[in-house]
């Protein structure tokens, strides 16, 4: 159950030096920042990830969400032994705690071997078709916080919008596959992409 909440699932995670400090990453348009998760994010993550449309767009988010799943996900994301680095798309623009705090979505890098990571993301349905996913992916690629030589990503073939997010961020299509979606309870055809870094 360790990787149950990875936004798009991912390849086999490889334990590495996890002492990398996660920093807040500014985005191009400044509409939001990417910041490490906080325990206080659990409510909004539960609300948004509990939406069937979000869950069915991922490999690993179940629908309905079991109690405590999001809290466990956040605890793992904050652990020094993590193999997945998670950022919250924070709509306050400065990442500060306070009444204006907003969780717009989640983006992550699951560490693989040979300096590679698997990119995953989801955006809350109320913010779909606003360019947030594209902006978040471009910001994470530009920051390259793990110093990766390559990033991989996959999307379900019935999610053309996510495929456009990746191609617009410089990812190249490398093939078809299929992945199991827990929320759908089925194997779903996917498109796989790579982004060579540097």
Report yes or no on 170 lying in a domain.
no
Closest CA to 84 of 177, 156, 146: 146
Report yes or no on 156 lying in a domain.
no
Report yes or no on 71 lying in a domain.
yes
Report yes or no on 6 lying in a domain.
no
pLDDT digits (tens, 9 = 90+) for 99-147: 345 899 999 999 999 999 999 999 999 999 999 999 999 999 999 999 9
Report yes or no on 119 lying in a domain.
yes
Q: Can you give the pLDDT at residue 28?
A: 74
Give residues with Cβ within 8 angstroms of 57, minimum separation 6: 122, 156, 159, 162
Give residues with Cβ within 8 angstroms of 130, minimum separation 6: none
Query: Whole domain around residue 108: which residue ranges?
Result: 25-146
pLDDT digits (tens, 9 = 90+) for 21-66: 788 888 876 889 999 999 999 999 999 999 999 999 999 999 999 9
Structure pTM?
Answer: 0.87
Helix (H, G, I), strand (E, B) or coil at 38: coil
CA 20 to the chain's CA centroid: 18
CA 17 to the chain's CA centroid: 20
CA 66 to the chain's CA centroid: 20
Count, in order, helices (H) and strands (E) of the chain.
5, 8
Report yes or no on 160 lying in a domain.
no
Query: How many structural domains are present in the chain?
Result: 1
Report yes or no on 142 lying in a domain.
yes
**How large is the average pLDDT for residues 69-98?**
87
| Residue 125, domain CATH | 3.40.630.30
């Amino acid at each position: 159950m360790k990787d149950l909440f990875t936004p798009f699932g991912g390849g086999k995670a490889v334990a590495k030096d996890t002492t990398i400090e996660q920093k807040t990453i500014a985005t191009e348009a400044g509409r939001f920042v990417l910041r490490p998760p906080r325990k206080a994010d659990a409510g909004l993550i539960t609300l948004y990830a509990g939406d069937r449309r979000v869950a069915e767009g991922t490999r690993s988010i179940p629908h309905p969400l079991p109690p405590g799943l999001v809290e466990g996900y956040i605890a793992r994301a904050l652990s020094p032994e993590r193999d997945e680095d998670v950022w919250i798309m924070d709509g306050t623009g400065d990442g500060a705690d306070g009444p204006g705090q907003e969780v717009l979505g989640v983006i992550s890098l699951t560490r693989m071997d040979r300096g590679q990571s698997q990119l995953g993301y989801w955006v809350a349905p109320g913010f779909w078709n606003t360019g947030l996913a594209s902006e978040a992916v471009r910001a994470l690629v530009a920051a390259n916080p793990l110093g990766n030589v390559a990033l991989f990503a996959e999307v379900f073939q019935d999610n053309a919008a996510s495929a456009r997010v990746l191609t617009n961020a410089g990812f190249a299509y490398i093939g078809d596959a299929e992945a199991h979606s827990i929320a759908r309870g089925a194997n779903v055809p996917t498109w796989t992409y790579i982004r060579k870094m540097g």
